[in-house]
Amino acid sequence: MVTIEGPLSVKEVCDLFKLQRIDVIKKLMNFGIMNVNQRLPLEVVIKIAEEYKYTVKVLTAEAESQMAEEADDHSKMVPRPPIVTIMGHVDHGKTSLLDAIRKTNVVESEDGGITQHIGAYQVDLPGSGQRITFLDTPGHEAFTQMRAHGSKVTDIAILVVSADDGVQPQTIEAIDHAIAAEIPIIVAINKIDKPGANIDNVKKQLAEHGLVPEDWGGDTVCVEVSAKQRINIDGLLEMILLVSEMRSLKADPTRKAVGAVIESRLDKGFGPVATILIQKGTLQVGDPVIVGCTCGKVRSMANARGEKMARAIPSTPVEITGLDEVPQAGDKLKVVTSEKVAREIATHRQIAMREERMKLKKHISLSELFSEIQNGKVKDLNIIIKGDVAGSIIALSDSLKKLSNDKVRVNVIHNNVGAITENDILLAAASNALIIGFRVRPSALAEKLAETEKVDVKVYRIIYDAIDQIQQAMVGMYDPTYKEVVLGRAEVRQVFKISHIGTIGGCQVKDGKITRDATIRVVRDGIEIYEGKLKSLKRFKDDAKEVTNGLECGIGMDKFNDIKEGDILEAFEMQEVKPSEMSGQAQSKENRR
Ligand code: GDP
C-alpha cells in the first residue's frame, strides 16, 4: 500500500515501487509515453503500481471531492444584494461616482467613519432596508482579469459615459466586455452639470452600439447623474435595485461559504490579507478554508469600515486574515470540514497547478478548432478583431459571421481600430476567443500575456487570407505550412535623410536581433504600415550581418522612405512547420503568403 499525492517523476516512481529505471521506461513506452522527463500523470502512476501489485491510495481524492459544487437547496435561498462593477472610458467619472455613492450612503462608523479601500464596499439604502455591493476597482480590465481566472462575481455593470464627451473607445470596449460576460448594463450618463452636456447625443451613440435607451423604445436603462454635484445618485441606486429585483438574485446563507478573492496583499503585522466577496453561504471566524492554491483558518474578518465581523453573509465583502499565503485576485474560497483537509487540497492543487502550467493549450486555437468542433467542445467560435481601419474590420467581421454553420456559430465579440492590447488578450482568455489582427500587431506586453494566457493571436495582411484560414480550420483543412518567427525589434531614435541613398533610421535594438536577410515590418502605434526587405544594415560605418539587443544601428528599407522617429522595426522570417510541432503552437502567427 502506497500513498501518493499527485504526479511523480520517473525517479520517484522507481524509488517508490523499488524498480529499475529501464523497466519503468519500457512500461511507459507500452503506454505510448516517450517523454520520460515529464512528471507522469496520476493515472499512469496508478497503472504501473497495479502491474506491480501495489495498492495506491491517492491522498487527496477524498478531500478534493469536498470541493465539488454542492447543489443549491432552493427552499433555503433568500434574496442577496446585487454586486456592481463600474466601467467606462478614462476620465468619464468612474472614481468620482464610486466616491459619491460611498459618501452619500455608507453608514458612517463611530470612530470617524473613513472607509478604507479593501476592493469593495456596501451601501445601505435608507428606508428600504436594502443594500448594494460595489466593487471599487473601476474598469473592465480588473473585471475581465477576474473572469479570465475563473471568477464571475459581478451581477450588474454600470457604464459611465460623460455627457460632454460621449461614447469613446473604452466605452465600447467596456460594453463588449460586459456583454461577453452576459451581465446587464445600466448606463450612468455623467457630468450632466457641465455646460457642454448633450444627453441626446450620448443616447444616439449608445443606440448605435446596440444599447437602445428605454425612452427610445429599447431596453437599456439610462440614468442621468452628476458625480461631482451629487445629482441623482439616489436615482441610480434605485435603478440598480430595480434591475437586480428583475434578476431575483438569491443565495443560501445556511450552507458553508463560497466566495472569490477580489484583492490581496501581504501585511507586515497580519501576514496574508485577502478581501473575499461571499457568494454563497456564511463565512465565520474560525472556518477552515481553501483559497486557490493556499489554505488556512479565518482568524479575523473586517468590513470596509474596519469593523470586526464574526460572520459574513452572501454579497458581503470582508477582509480576512489567517491564510498561509497571499492568494490571487479571482481565486475561489471554499470552507471545508477541517484544516487538515484544507491543507491536503492545497498541496494537491499546487501540484496540479504546476501540471497545468506544463500543459500546452488552454484556449481555442486554429490548429485545434476542427477537433474541438468534432468533440462537441466548441459550439461558438468567439473572435476578437483588431484592425488598422474601421472599413476592413466591418468587412472582415461580416464575412467571418457568414462562416457560421449548423455545428459552430462564429461570434465577433469585440472589434476595434488599433493595436492588439493586453485588454484584448484578457477578454480572449476570459471568453475563450481567438484574436485576429488585420494589419496591426500585438504590443510587446500583449504578446507576452498571450503567451502566458495561451491565447491564439493571428495576424493577416489580406482579408481573404483571414477568411480562408478560418474556413479551412472549421472543416479540418487548416494547414499552416509556414509560421512566422519574430527575430527581434528595433526602435527608430532618429531619422537621417541622405541624398541619393534615401532615409536611414538610427535605431536601437530593443529585443532579439535584426539580421540583414530578415523581412522587416514597420509598426507605428501598433499599426503595421509597411512590410519589406532591408536595403542596408550598418553598425557605425560598417555593413553588419546582424545587430543584437541593446546595440545601435542604421537601417535603410528597400523601397520605403517614410521611416519616422518612434517607429518599431520588427524583423521576422518564415520557417517551415514540421508536422510534429503542429499541435503545440499556442501562439505562433502562421501565415500563408
Ligand atoms: P475616471 O478616470 O473615470 O475614474 O474619472 P474621474 O472620476 O477621475 O473623473 C475625471 C474628472 O472628471 C475629474 O476631474 C472629476 O472631477 C471630473 N468629474 C467627474 N464627474 C463629474 C461630474 O459629474 N461633473 C463634472 N463637472 N466633472 C466631473
> 74: CA distance to ligand 1 center in Å?
43
Q: Do the beta carbons of residue 383 and residue 436 sit within 8 Å?
A: yes
Q: Report residue 145 as a C-alpha cell.
A: 482579469
> 447: CA distance to ligand 1 center in Å?
33
> 93: CA distance to ligand 1 center in Å?
4
Q: Report residue 549 as a C-alpha cell.
A: 539587443
Q: Do the beta carbons of residue 366 and residue 458 sit within 8 Å?
A: yes
For residue 472, which of 366, 376, 397 has the smallest C-alpha distance? 366
Q: Cα-Cα-Cα-Cα dihedral of 421, 424, 426, 429, to 10°? A: -130
Q: Which of the pair, 356 or 36, is modelled with greater confidence?
A: 36
d(CA 6, CA 345): 11
Strands 130-135 and 83-88: parallel
SS3 state at 133: strand
Q: Report residue 350 as a C-alpha cell.
A: 499546487
Interacting residues of 153 by C-beta distance below 8 A, sequence separation 6+:
83, 135, 146, 260, 262, 277, 279
Is the confidence at residue 371, as pLDDT, over 90?
no
Read off the pLDDT band of 308 (50, 70, 90): very high
Q: Report residue 379 as a C-alpha cell.
A: 459550439
Which atom of ligand 1 has the smallest separation from the CA of 194?
26
Per-residue H/E/C for 36-100: CCCCECHHHHHHHHHHCCCCEEECCHHHHHCCCCCCCCHHHCEECCCEEEEEECCCCCHHHHHHH
Locus of grid cell 431575483: 248
d(CA 492, CA 515): 16
> 96: CA distance to ligand 1 center in Å?
6
Supply the pLDDT for residue 68. Answer: 62
Report in angstroms the alpha-carbon separations of 399 from 407, 412, 418: 17, 11, 20
Is the confidence at residue 592, as pLDDT, over 50?
no
Query: Whose alpha carbon is nearest atom 24 of ligand 1?
Result: 191
pTM over 0.85: no
Q: Do the beta carbons of residue 47 and residue 279 sit within 8 Å?
A: no
Supply the pLDDT for residue 352. Answer: 63
Q: What's the rounded mean pLDDT across residues 80-102?
A: 94
> 91: CA distance to ligand 1 center in Å?
6
Query: Whose alpha carbon is nearest atom 10 of ligand 1?
Result: 91
Q: Which of the pair, 537 or 525, is modelled with greater confidence?
A: 537
Read off the pLDDT band of 580 (50, 70, 90): very low
The dihedral built from the CA positions of residue 34, 39, 40 and 46, taken in this order, carries a sign that is positive
| Residue-wise pLDDT tens digits, 148-199 | 777 889 999 999 999 999 999 999 999 999 999 999 999 999 999 999 999 9
Rg (CA), the chain: 28
For residue 429, which of 209, 151, 119, 157 has the smallest C-alpha distance? 151
> 84: CA distance to ligand 1 center in Å?
19
Which atom of ligand 1 has the smallest separation from the CA of 231?
23
Is the confidence at residue 584, as pLDDT, over 60?
no
Pocket of ligand 1 (CB under 6 A): 88, 90-96, 138, 190-191, 193-194, 226-228
Mutation test of ligand 1: which of 91, 170, 233 has the most ligand atoms closer than 8 Å to its C-beta? Answer: 91
Of the chain, the percentage scoring pLDDT greater than 70 comes to: 89
Q: Do the beta carbons of residue 146 and residue 182 sit within 8 Å?
A: no
Tell me which of 52-61, 75-84, 462-471, 570-579 is least confident: 52-61
Query: Whose alpha carbon is nearest atom 19 of ligand 1?
Result: 93
| Residue-wise pLDDT tens digits, 467-513 | 988 888 888 776 666 777 889 999 999 999 988 888 999 999 999 99
Is the confidence at residue 246, as pLDDT, over 50?
yes
Q: Which of 150-159, 277-286, 302-311 has the highest mean pLDDT?
A: 277-286
Query: Whose alpha carbon is nearest atom 2 of ligand 1?
Result: 91
Supply the pLDDT for residue 52. Answer: 82
| Residue-wise pLDDT tens digits, 539-577 | 988 999 999 999 999 999 998 999 999 999 999 988 776
Q: Report residue 310 as a C-alpha cell.
A: 464574526
Which atom of ligand 1 has the smallest separation from the CA of 99?
7
> 95: CA distance to ligand 1 center in Å?
7
d(CA 48, CA 27): 7
Average model confidence (pLDDT) for the chain?
85
Per-residue H/E/C for 322-357: EECCCCCCCCEEEECCCHHHHHHHHHHHHHHHHHHH
What are the residues facing 521 on neighbouring strands? Answer: 531, 570
Supply the pLDDT for residue 586. Answer: 36
Which atom of ligand 1 has the smallest separation from the CA of 98?
7
Read off the pLDDT band of 354 (50, 70, 90): low
Supply the pLDDT for residue 64. Answer: 58
Query: Whose alpha carbon is nearest atom 18 of ligand 1?
Result: 93
SS3 state at 4: strand
d(CA 393, CA 386): 7
Which atom of ligand 1 has the smallest separation from the CA of 229?
23
Query: Whose alpha carbon is nearest atom 14 of ligand 1?
Result: 91
| Residue-wise pLDDT tens digits, 438-453 | 999 898 889 888 988 8
Mutation test of ligand 1: which of 136, 228, 231 has the most ligand atoms closer than 8 Å to its C-beta? Answer: 228
Is the confidence at residue 590, as pLDDT, over 80?
no
Q: Do the beta carbons of residue 257 and residue 280 sit within 8 Å?
A: yes
Read off the pLDDT band of 360 (50, 70, 90): very low
Mutation test of ligand 1: which of 85, 96, 103, 162 has the most ligand atoms closer than 8 Å to its C-beta? Answer: 96
Q: Report residue 487 as a C-alpha cell.
A: 527575430
Which atom of ligand 1 has the smallest separation from the CA of 89?
3
> 227: CA distance to ligand 1 center in Å?
7
> 160: CA distance to ligand 1 center in Å?
10
Is the confidence at residue 585, as pLDDT, over 50?
no
> 149-168 burial, b for 16+ CB within 10 Å, e for fewer?
bebbbbbbbbbbbbbbbbbb
Which atom of ligand 1 has the smallest separation from the CA of 92?
3
